[in-house]
Amino acid sequence: MSRAQLTSTVEQNGGGSLSSFIAGKNFLANGAMDIFQRSTSATFSSGGYFAPDRWVAIAGTSQTFSQESTIVPSGFRYSLKMLANATATLGQLQTQQVIETANAIYLAGQTVTFSAYIYGSSSTSIGIGIQYNTSVDATWNGGGWSSISATSGGTGTATTSWSKITGTYTIPSNAKTVLVQIYNNATVSSSAAIYFTGLQLELGSVATPFSRAGGTVQGELALCQRYYWRGISGASYGFLNGAGFSYTSSNAQISVTYPVTMRAIPSSVDYSSLVVQDSAAGIFSLSSITLDASVTNTIGASFAGTTSGMTTNRFLRLLGSGSTAYIGFSAEL
């Protein structure tokens, strides 16, 4: 008997008295849409990691994905709002999550249930689905993905009352990476919106009460930071967890320690309004940075920053020139 089936059996026998907060049963990170490190709102016309952590956003023409705190079901604090700024055809308001091989191996050959809470500003058909890949740690935008037909469920209707959509699937035994998706299953008119929260993927054929994969919001943040971490200045010239030295008058070497061990060596870095401070000589803006691949690993990064006017061989601190300045490291799939 799977853990989800056992949970359901105990709930039935115990009159529903079993606590719904069972850390580890949910294979999806940030299912309650608590964590938005990159931005709490993003408008775009493509696909990628734009707003909610661990969730790839797929959009049509000029769609907005944002964290919503007003329209939420009982027991939740946030939902993901997908606003159609222009008419969205099938699948153009979509979010996906890739489950890495280290976790997906527990799903291979198993029956699983995918569930979510849905809401629409107008009645909208919603679809959910699961795909698998036989490659290790396949990326969301790479090849080799195959869809799995639902043995039950898989569609629902978002209305102005929150409801729960579920689908049950059997994961092939040769699956190495798994991807879940939830999307508009029909055209959404301009200015209409759909909302999702409480997304959960669990073993078994029964959708049990939602539980965060990380157990708590703090645990969920650490789980998300395994894939992406962004340090935000938060103040004028706030510290960004990095320090180093000037090895020429125009080049700084900076090291940053991540708050958690990342899934893999980060493949990219994004940043805005970075400066370095020499306490004796002042503050210098960084015009560009380049990761040092020979030193960067899963616990910290080293990079070279370009500026001008520094004194050689001086200690430097990494700061942000403004409260929204940031540096981020990605090991996403």
Q: What is the DSSP string of 178-228?
A: EEEEEEESS-B-TT-EEEEEEEEEEESSS-PPP--TTSSHHHHHHHHHTTE
Contact yes or no for 193/120 (Cβ under 8 A):
yes
State the chain's mean pLDDT as an integer.
Answer: 93
Contact yes or no for 243/316 (Cβ under 8 A):
yes
Confidence tier at 14 by pLDDT (50, 70, 90): very low
**The pLDDT of residue 22:** 62
Q: What is the average pLDDT across 248-253?
A: 97
Sign, CA torsion 12/18/19/25: negative
Q: Which two three-digit tokens encode residue 24?
A: 């580890």
Asked if residue 304 has pLDDT above 50, the reply is: yes
**The pLDDT of residue 222:** 98
Given the structure tokens 């799977």, which residue do they identify?
2
Contact yes or no for 132/170 (Cβ under 8 A):
no
Given the structure tokens 């980060």, which residue do they identify?
266
pLDDT tens string 186-230: 999 999 999 999 999 999 999 999 999 999 999 999 999 999 999
Which of 328, 318, 316, 322 lies closest to 271 in space, CA to CA?
A: 328
**The pLDDT of residue 8:** 41
Which of 324, 317, 315, 299 lies closest to 231 in space, CA to CA?
A: 324
Q: Which two three-digit tokens encode residue 202?
A: 């669990």
Asked if residue 131 has pLDDT above 60, the reply is: yes
**The pLDDT of residue 21:** 54
pLDDT tens string 51-89: 999 999 999 889 999 999 999 999 999 999 999 999 999
Q: Which two three-digit tokens encode residue 243?
A: 């320090």
Contact yes or no for 254/318 (Cβ under 8 A):
yes
Asked if residue 44 has pLDDT above 60, the reply is: yes
**CA torsion angle for 209, 215, 220, 222 (degrees, to 10)?**
-160
Q: Which two three-digit tokens encode residue 252?
A: 């700084």
Residue 181 Cα distances to 55, 115, 137, 262, 285, angstroms? 9, 11, 17, 24, 41
Q: How far apart are CA 193 and CA 79, in angstroms?
A: 12
Asked if residue 272 has pLDDT above 80, the reply is: yes
Which of 2, 83, 100 lies closest to 44 in space, CA to CA?
A: 83
Confidence tier at 328 by pLDDT (50, 70, 90): very high
Q: Which two three-digit tokens encode residue 44?
A: 């775009």
Read off the DSSP letter of residue 104.
Answer: H
pLDDT tens string 18-34: 344 566 899 999 999 99
